Amino acid sequence: MYIILVYDIGEKRVGKMLKLCRRYLNWIQNSVFEGEITEVKLKQLLHSARLIMDEETDSLILFKSREQKWLEKEIIGQDKNDLDTFI
Amino acid sequence: MYIILVYDIGEKRVGKMLKLCRRYLNWIQNSVFEGEITEVKLKQLLHSARLIMDEETDSLILFKSREQKWLEKEIIGQDKNDLDTFI
């Protein structure tokens, strides 16, 4: 399936979360990731995310779509993902 | 159509952008919004967004879906949108 993942995580934990999400998904902006992922991999990702998160204050939102073609993406301004490849 | 909008905007401009997006969409987290919107309203929103943005540094990403049912949303941790209603 194709997912969009966005998080809002306390500063102390954000580095770990970024590293985790990058292992499974493509970073597209700030705290936003997207990508194709299997059910099993998604379970692994969410399990690890929960270990990092403070669920009292942090938040993670997933949008799941069975097929990427059902979602059209449009970028205005900087495509940060392009920059990312040079960092 | 149903859209998810995420932005990464310089601090000086972020207040204006938040206010603009809230006029058209539901705020769900940090710099993430979602909602049903018409083509015409979306054009208005993007026109206004471009006037606020510095397109050299800022970024706005839209995911458009013809129908919301094609996207399943899952929230882990805090549902900030709930808190939002009290602010």
Question: Which helix or strand (DSSP H or E) is residue A2 part of?
Answer: strand A2-8
Please report the ipTM that was assigned to this predicted complex.
Answer: 0.82
Query: How many angstroms separate the CA atoms of B36 and A86, rounded?
Result: 36
Q: Which residues of chain A fall below pLDDT 70?
A: 80-87
Query: Chain A within 8 Å of B66 (Cβ-Cβ)?
Result: yes
- C-alpha span between A50 and A73 (Å, rounded): 28
Where are chain A's structural domains? 2-68
For residue A86, count CB atoms less than 10 angstroms from its CB and return exposed for 0-12, middle for 13-18, buried for 19 or more: exposed
Q: What pLDDT shows up at residue B68?
A: 82
pLDDT digits (tens, 9 = 90+) for B29-64: 889 999 999 999 999 999 999 999 998 999 999 999
Three-state SS for A36?
strand
Of the candidates A53, A58, A71, the beta carbon closest to that of B63 is on A71
Is B2-61 a domain of CATH 3.30.70.240?
Answer: yes
**pLDDT for B69-78, tens place per residue?**
888 999 998 8
Integer angstrom CA distances of residue A74 from A2, B7, B49, B80? 16, 12, 14, 25
Using a CB–CB cutoff of 8 Å, tell me whether B74 touches chain A: yes
- Architecture, CATH, for domain A2-68: 2-Layer Sandwich (3.30)
Q: Which residues of B touch A61 (CB under 8 A)?
A: 28-29, 32, 73-76
